Amino acid sequence: MMTTLISAALLSVSAQATTPDNAAAATKLSQESKAVLRCSAAFALISYGQANGHEDALKWPDVTTRGREFFVRSMAQMMDETGLDRDGIADLVGKEAQRLADNGEVQKVMPACLVMLDSSGV
């Protein structure tokens, strides 16, 4: 079930149109929630890269287990905060993952995301 959410966020969501409800929810996110969303997307991208042997992803500590747990917990909390369902959250994560990848920002955000991961207790 969680693999489905991650797969949807990384593979199919970027092709979907953002609904007005999702766009409104995204603009209402707190700065903290935006950071959590950004890091969740970054962990998913790095985990995918590590699983597929991508050199840039392998430079980072293994985030497969802890990153996934952070992702799952954070997205569940964001569902509660925004009222969005899984598809809505997957849309937000997918858009953020696409933005990070398109702008080459994954490597830039990872140091702060690792600090966030450590402070989360996951």
Q: What is the pLDDT along the chain (122 residues), one digit of tens a residue?
A: 344 444 444 443 333 444 445 555 556 788 988 999 999 999 999 999 999 999 999 999 999 999 999 999 999 988 888 889 999 999 999 999 999 999 999 999 999 999 999 999 88
- Specify the pLDDT at position 8: 41
C-beta contacts of 25-33 below 8 A and 24+ residues apart = 25/82, 25/83, 25/84, 25/88, 25/92, 26/92, 26/95, 28/82, 29/78, 29/81, 29/82, 33/78, 33/81
- Specify the pLDDT at position 11: 41
How far apart are the C-alpha atoms of 83 and 25, rounded to whole Å?
Answer: 8
- Specify the pLDDT at position 12: 35
